């Protein structure tokens, strides 16, 4: 029941904080993210480091749905958001997204 101007202010604050991304140029459709991709990447990398899995390769399925990640906050993460998180890690030189025979994977450093 907020006026349109108030809604726009709220959405702009979410965008500034990195929790909202506009999906179209007219700003009529958007994605609200509970955590920014960088935050998801940090959680994933903490799990990798804690378990001594640097220099290991994982499929995206293994990370998001595998038995090893069950109970982790990123378990069940949408593949698009997982890719964004891994791209953030790739920019930090902590991971490299690779193409595997059956899809995509990631190698952690």
Beta bridge partners of 99: 104
Q: 20-22 and 30-32: which strand pairing?
A: antiparallel
**What are 74-88's pLDDT values in tens digits?**
999 999 999 999 999
Mean pLDDT for the chain overall? 95
Decide if pLDDT at 101 tops 90: no
Nearest CA to 34 out of 97, 1, 77 is that of 77
- DSSP secondary structure letter of residue 54: T
* CATH number assigned to the domain with residue range 37-108, chosen from the 4 options 1.10.10.10, 3.30.1600.10, 1.10.8.590, 3.40.50.300: 1.10.10.10
- Prediction pTM value: 0.86
């Amino acid at each position: 029941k907020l006026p349109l101007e108030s809604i726009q202010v709220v959405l702009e604050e979410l965008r500034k904080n990195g929790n909202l991304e506009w999906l179209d140029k007219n700003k009529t459709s958007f994605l609200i993210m509970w955590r920014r991709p960088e935050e998801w990447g940090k959680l994933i990398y903490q799990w990798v480091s804690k378990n001594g899995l640097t220099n290991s390769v994982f499929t995206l399925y293994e990370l998001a749905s595998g038995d090893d990640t069950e109970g982790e906050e990123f378990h069940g993460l949408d593949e698009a958001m997982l890719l964004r998180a891994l791209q953030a890690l790739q920019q930090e030189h902590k991971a490299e997204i690779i193409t595997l025979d059956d899809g995509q994977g990631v190698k952690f450093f």
